[in-house]
């Protein structure tokens, strides 16, 4: 990109959108910044909603930056406002009856909960926004029998908190194991074991058929009684705004290695963006704080300085469930090999290349993996094998 | 309230009132102080809330917590004996007057 943008409009005031605004100022951008969010209130952290917040209810602790911060850094925060459309020809966005011109537009629209076509799903609650989490917390103030649809991070984090509070919990999952999209079988098995030990019932290979006000119906005919039903079956990227503006979308808003969409005046970041995986070039979409904030920094540098360093950050993810902390460094594809290490961690390989390390309560290996994966020429499988697959010896 | 003084790399001092039980990181973030990022929100997944506890206070803030050493390994600035993740220092009445120094960069 050449020339200096005068007005950057950011659509979406989640952690990624906010980071873009903050990084623009850190990089020395002196033009106007408008950060537009659909939810009310100040930008907040989502990860704790299914973890610490459910336990403590401390909503103030979620706020990412106070109101005074936006004033101090001259960032115009517009909340409770939905952007209806993008007019690319003239460089405007439409918000209700208002229009707002942009020189550069950043789409940080995030995701929304996937609501599969299951009869009676209106009886199930969501856990995505602060409002959702507040409602759930209120529902948990008396003994409950919970049914959770989906054994991904959110469903299991909720299950761990609810069970620890003494509620009965059953989790139904369509796949044969928990967190099937995110982790290898050995790690999934250890989490399943922990949940079983807590007294949570897990039903795998059970795509919920029907929901009613008294519980959920499994395909094998079993009815699981519940007076609190949580839907946690994954998310869908919010691409409609980009799609309607004619930008290519493919399970997310398609960007290049600089997080730029097909339109040089529009970037996309975080959960709603698909971008080329730096290692394989495959288009990927990540749902993480890391991707949202690292994308934001890359875009802010490009807008401010016109430089276009290809995005190459090492992905990382975490999940806290009871006393187990899952940490993932890197990005493995389902077909990648899986090596179980003596220290309990799992290394994933694509041929000779280390692609990811999955660890439980082992920050040392996790951080070492992040360092190794960031190297220009990371040690190959044979080298790691000679070290007994102990990354801390590398 | 527990007073905490943050001394930025350029020497600028900011004293904030924190609540007992809150962390040194959260106190800085909720006041919008620059110099502490706290990207993971205190989940010990990053090292962007790195601080150096003033020598006069390092006994009272205690040793690093489990895993803190490993995360500090990836801190952007030099790690010293007094380096801590400020999300892991919880304010107590005994820490009233605490002084921490901030690194030149967190990323």
Which DSSP string corresponds to A184-195? -HHHHHHHHHHH
Beta bridge partners of residue A275, listed in sequence order: A284
Residue A240 contacts by C-beta under 8 Å, 6 or more apart in sequence?
none
CATH superfamily of A115-231: FAD/NAD(P)-binding domain (3.50.50.60)
In this predicted structure, what is the pLDDT of residue A4? 62
Instruction: Give the start-to-end residue ranges of the domains of chain B.
Output: 2-101
In this predicted structure, what is the pLDDT of residue A2? 42
Mean pLDDT for all residues in chain B: 96
- The rounded distance, in Å, linking the Cα atoms of B78 and B104 is 9
H-state helical runs in B1-107: 24-30, 58-61, 68-72
Report strand pairing: B50-53 vs B98-101: antiparallel
Partner-chain contact A364 B67, CB within 8 Å: yes
Partner-chain contact B107 A297, CB within 8 Å: yes
In this predicted structure, what is the pLDDT of residue A319? 97
B chain contacts of residue A318, beta-carbon cutoff 8 Å: 40, 43, 45
Identify the three-state secondary structure at position A347: strand
- Where does the pLDDT of residue B49 fall: very low under 50, low under 70, confident under 90, or very high at 90 and above? very high
In this predicted structure, what is the pLDDT of residue A62? 96
In this predicted structure, what is the pLDDT of residue A1? 42
Measure Cα distances from A380 to A94, A340, A364, A385, B8 in Å.
51, 16, 20, 9, 41
CB A29 within 8 A of CB A21: no
Residue ranges matching CATH 3.50.50.60 in chain A: 7-112+235-305, 115-231
> What is Dmax (Cα atoms) for chain A?
65
B71 in contact with A at a CB cutoff of 8 Å? yes
Quick one: which H or E segment has residue A202?
strand A201-203
Q: Could you say which residues of chain A have pLDDT below 50? A: 1-2
Q: Which two tokens stand for residue B72?
A: 């500090």
* CATH code reported for the domain at A7-112+235-305: 3.50.50.60
Query: How far does Cα A204 stand from its chain's mean position?
Result: 23
Asked whether this complex has an ipTM greater than 0.95, the answer is: no
Select the residue from B33, B39, B107 to test the A interface by mutation, using most A Cβ atoms within 10 A.
B39
- pLDDT tens figures, A183-228: 999 999 999 999 999 999 999 999 999 999 999 999 999 999 999 9
Look at the domain B2-101 and name its fold: Ubiquitin-like (UB roll) (3.10.20)
Q: Which two tokens stand for residue B7?
A: 């001394």
- d(CA A69, nearest CA chain B) in Å: 5
- pLDDT tens figures, A355-367: 999 999 999 999 9
Identify the three-state secondary structure at position B26: helix
What φ, ψ does residue A337 adopt, rounded to 5°?
-65, 160
For the residues B57-74, what does the mean pLDDT come to? 94
Q: Which two tokens stand for residue A30?
A: 């002196």
Q: Kindly tell me the burial class for residue A371, based on how many C-beta atoms sit within 10 Å of its own C-beta (0-12, 13-18, 19 or more).
A: middle
Quick one: which H or E segment has residue A198?
helix A185-198
Residue A239 contacts by C-beta under 8 Å, 6 or more apart in sequence?
A109, A249, A252, A253, A272
B chain contacts of residue A364, beta-carbon cutoff 8 Å: 67, 70
Residue of A nearest to B28 (CA): A65
Residue ranges matching CATH 3.30.390.30 in chain A: 323-393
- d(CA A66, nearest CA chain B) in Å: 6
CB B89 within 8 A of CB B68: no
Q: Write down the residue that tokens 């009132």 correspond to.
A: B17
Partner-chain contact B41 A297, CB within 8 Å: no
**Nearest-by-Cβ selection for A363 from B31, B32, B44:** B44
Beta bridge partners of residue A148, listed in sequence order: A171, A230
Q: Which two tokens stand for residue B57?
A: 């206070």
Partner-chain contact B73 A367, CB within 8 Å: yes
A72 in contact with B at a CB cutoff of 8 Å? yes
Q: Which two tokens stand for residue A381?
A: 């499988």
Architecture of domain A323-393 in CATH? 2-Layer Sandwich (3.30)
- The rounded distance, in Å, linking the Cα atoms of A389 and A384 is 5
In this predicted structure, what is the pLDDT of residue A101? 97
Put simply, the chain B residues between 75 and 104 with a CB less than 8 A from any chain A CB are none
The C-alpha angle B67, A55, A111, rounded to 5 degrees, equals 85
In this predicted structure, what is the pLDDT of residue A307? 82
- The rounded distance, in Å, linking the Cα atoms of A151 and A139 is 20
Identify the three-state secondary structure at position A161: helix
Does residue B10 carry a pLDDT above 60? yes
């Amino acid at each position: 990109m050449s020339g200096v943008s005068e007005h950057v409009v950011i659509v979406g005031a989640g952690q990624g959108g906010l980071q873009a605004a903050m990084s623009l100022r850190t990089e020395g951008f002196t033009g106007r910044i408008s950060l537009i969010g659909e939810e009310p209130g100040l930008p907040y952290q989502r990860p704790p909603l299914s973890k610490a917040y459910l336990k403590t209810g401390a909503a103030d602790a979620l706020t990412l930056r106070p109101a005074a911060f936006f004033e101090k850094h001259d960032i115009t925060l517009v909340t409770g406002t939905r952007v209806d459309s993008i007019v690319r020809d003239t460089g405007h966005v439409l918000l209700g009856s208002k229009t707002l011109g942009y020189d550069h537009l950043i789409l940080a629209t995030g995701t929304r909960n996937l609501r599969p076509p299951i009869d009676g799903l209106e009886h199930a609650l969501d856990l995505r926004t602060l409002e959702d989490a507040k409602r759930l917390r209120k529902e948990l103030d008396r003994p409950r029998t919970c049914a959770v649809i989906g054994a991904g991070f959110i469903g299991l984090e909720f299950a761990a908190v609810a069970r620890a509070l003494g509620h009965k919990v059953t989790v139904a999952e369509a796949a044969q194991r928990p967190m099937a999209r995110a982790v290898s079988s050995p790690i999934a098995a250890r989490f399943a074991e922990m949940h079983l030990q807590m007294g949570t019932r897990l039903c795998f290979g059970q795509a919920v058929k029907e929901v009613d006000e008294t519980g959920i119906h499994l395909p094998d005919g079993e009815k699981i009684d519940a007076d609190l039903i949580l839907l946690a079956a994954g998310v869908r990227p919010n691409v409609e705004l980009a799609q309607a503006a004619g930008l290519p979308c493919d399970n997310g808003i398609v960007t290049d290695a600089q997080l730029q969409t097909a339109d040089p005046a529009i970037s996309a970041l975080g959960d709603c963006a698909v971008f080329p995986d730096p290692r394989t070039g495959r288009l990927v979409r990540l749902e993480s704080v890391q991707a949202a904030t690292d994308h934001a920094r890359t875009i802010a540098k490009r807008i401010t300085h016109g430089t276009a360093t290809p995005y190459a950050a090492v992905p990382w993810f975490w999940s806290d469930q009871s006393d187990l902390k899952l940490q993932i460094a890197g990005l493995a594809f389902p077909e990648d090999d899986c090596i179980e290490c003596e220290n309990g961690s799992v290394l994933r390989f694509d041929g000779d290349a280390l692609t990811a390390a999955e660890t439980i309560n082992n920050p040392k290996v996790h951080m070492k993996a992040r360092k190794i994966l960031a190297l220009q020429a990371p040690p190959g499988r044979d080298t790691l094998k000679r070290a007994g697959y102990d990354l801390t010896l590398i | 309230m527990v007073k905490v003084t943050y001394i930025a790399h350029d020497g600028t001092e900011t004293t904030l009132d924190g609540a007992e039980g809150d962390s040194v990181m959260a106190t800085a973030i909720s006041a919008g102080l620059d110099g502490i990022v706290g990207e993971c929100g205190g989940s010990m997944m990053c090292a962007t809330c790195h601080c150096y506890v003033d020598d006069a206070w390092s006994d009272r803030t205690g040793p690093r917590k489990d895993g803190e050493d490993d995360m500090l390994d990836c801190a952007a600035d030099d790690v010293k004996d007094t380096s801590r993740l400020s999300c892991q220092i919880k304010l107590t009445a005994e820490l009233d007057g605490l002084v921490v120094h901030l690194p030149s960069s967190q990323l």
